[in-house]
Amino acid sequence: MNDDAFVKFSEVSKSYDGRTLSVQDFSLSVARGEFVTLLGPSGSGKTTCLKMLAGFEEPNSGEIWLNGRPVNQLKPWKRNIGVVFQHYALFPHMTIAENLAFPLRARRIAAKEIARSVLRALDMVQLQNFAARRPAQLSGGQQQRVAIARALVFEPDLVLMDEPLGALDRRLREEMQYEIRALQQRLGVTMIYVTHDQNEAMVLSDRVAVMEQGRISQVASPEALYEEPQRLFVANFIGENNQLEGRIVAYRPDECQVEVGGEIVRAFPVAVTANDVQTSVTIRPERVALNPAPGLYPNCFKAQVEDIIFMGDYLRIHATLLGQTQFIVKIPNIIGHGGILPGDTVTLGWLVTDCRALDVRVEEETE
């Protein structure tokens, strides 16, 4: 085992029916004190991975390690893991203090130490004055803080969170994201988080493992996933991307030329090593310049504006470019944007480094 890995999945697979693999050859290492998020659509296997790590499910093959020891055969309560679910699972007949004391009593901790630990946990989540209340007397955000405090009260080696903010409204969810991140950084506890919300993953994580059909498509920092996606699925799942379909007609390691709609698009090649292969070219909408000065961008093409949508702080322009519809451009909402109207012909430009050629054959092999 890698000595630096606090949590390690090694070629773990899981099937519930003996035929279909929910998780397939899943390998991931997490360092002590790291915040890692498993991100993916419903059915991608992220919650199954969390359940296997917690001990609620057993893998069919592969090994899971925690703090230097294999845990496949270890009972859940012996793994010293705190778990937070989307539905808070608080005991409604108990006070908040009693809810927090419950996992400590189950571990037969002395009464005086329980009292100290409960107060310390309430202080962590800033609910010192709510100890005597019951869950029904708290807001959704406060109940989620209690659930987090209960997962931390016995000082676990690891905290797992499965869609813990899914039941909250958008404003409160955003506030709780920053609170969870600040708490994790202050305590230095290792956290593995599950979500299908890409924004949540970007805010919280040191690294994000993007999952597709039971496998990891790419694991990297939020910035690297956004700026340097290695696969088409990742490029489209993290943020928004324009996608142009074409054929590579010239290749160099630092640049390739892609024929799209009878024009040549210059792009940075990713997993593309040959001419005359189909590829998907991706460009972030905010990296596209509208009516740039001549000669400023190596990629410059005429486009027709189909629609302009007001989004508050930016405008979303829908255009037809290189014969492909629904090409998106995002521009800041500043004075002067009113000069562009639907039906206008404009010039769109972007850099080679902002344009990535992803080999579609990589996508097809896993379908």
The enclosing domain of 123 has a CATH number of 3.40.50.300
CB 160 within 8 A of CB 80: no
DSSP letter for 230, please. S
In sequence order, the β-bridge partners of residue 36 are 192, 207
Residue 200 structure tokens = 């949540």
Q: Is residue 237 included in any domain, yes or no? A: no
Instruction: Give the end of a domain, one of 232, 253, 279.
Output: 232
Q: Sheet of 69-70: strands edge to edge?
A: 21-31, 5-15, 61-66, 69-70
Rounded Cα–Cα distance for residues 352 and 363 (Å): 22
Rounded Cα–Cα distance for residues 121 and 128 (Å): 9
Q: 253 and 106 in one domain?
A: no
Rounded Cα–Cα distance for residues 149 and 152 (Å): 5
Q: Is residue 209 included in any domain, yes or no? A: yes
Q: 252 and 228 in one domain?
A: no
Return the pLDDT at 137.
94
Domain span at 313 = 242-358
* Other beta carbons within 10 Å of 304: 15
CB 163 within 8 A of CB 173: no
Q: 200 and 153 in one domain?
A: yes
Total domains in the chain come to 2
Could you read off the pLDDT tens digit of each residue along the chain, which spans 367 residues?
445 799 999 999 999 998 899 999 999 999 999 999 999 999 999 999 999 999 999 999 999 999 999 999 999 988 999 999 877 788 999 999 999 999 899 888 999 999 999 999 998 888 989 999 999 999 888 998 899 999 988 888 899 999 988 878 888 888 889 989 998 998 899 999 999 999 999 999 999 999 999 999 999 999 999 999 999 999 999 989 999 999 999 999 899 999 999 999 999 999 777 777 889 999 999 999 999 999 999 999 999 999 999 888 889 999 999 988 889 999 988 755 567 899 999 999 999 999 999 976 544 444 4
How remote is the C-alpha of 225 from its chain's centroid? 9
Domain of residue 276, CATH code: 2.40.50.100
Return the pLDDT at 365.
44
Q: Sheet of 35-39: strands edge to edge?
A: 81-85, 158-162, 190-195, 35-39, 207-212, 215-220
- Residue 235's H or E segment, with its range, is helix 232-237
Q: 300 and 179 in one domain?
A: no
* Other beta carbons within 10 Å of 124: 17
Q: Is residue 139 included in any domain, yes or no? A: yes
The beta strands (E) that lie in the chain are given as 5-15, 21-31, 35-39, 61-66, 69-70, 81-85, 158-162, 190-195, 207-212, 215-220, 242-252, 255-260, 263-270, 278-283, 289-290, 299-310, 314-321, 324-332, 345-350, 355-359
Instruction: Give the end of a domain, one of 232, 251, 266.
Output: 232
Rounded Cα–Cα distance for residues 184 and 201 (Å): 14
Helices (H) and strands (E) in the chain, counts: 9, 20
If DSSP codes are grouped into helix, strand and coil, which group holds residue 326? strand
Instruction: Give the end of a domain, one of 232, 261, 288.
Output: 232
Q: 247 and 315 in one domain?
A: yes
Q: Is the dihedral of CA 252, 255, 261, 262 positive or negative?
A: negative
Q: 203 and 64 in one domain?
A: yes
Q: 301 and 198 in one domain?
A: no
Q: 247 and 228 in one domain?
A: no
Rounded Cα–Cα distance for residues 318 and 327 (Å): 6
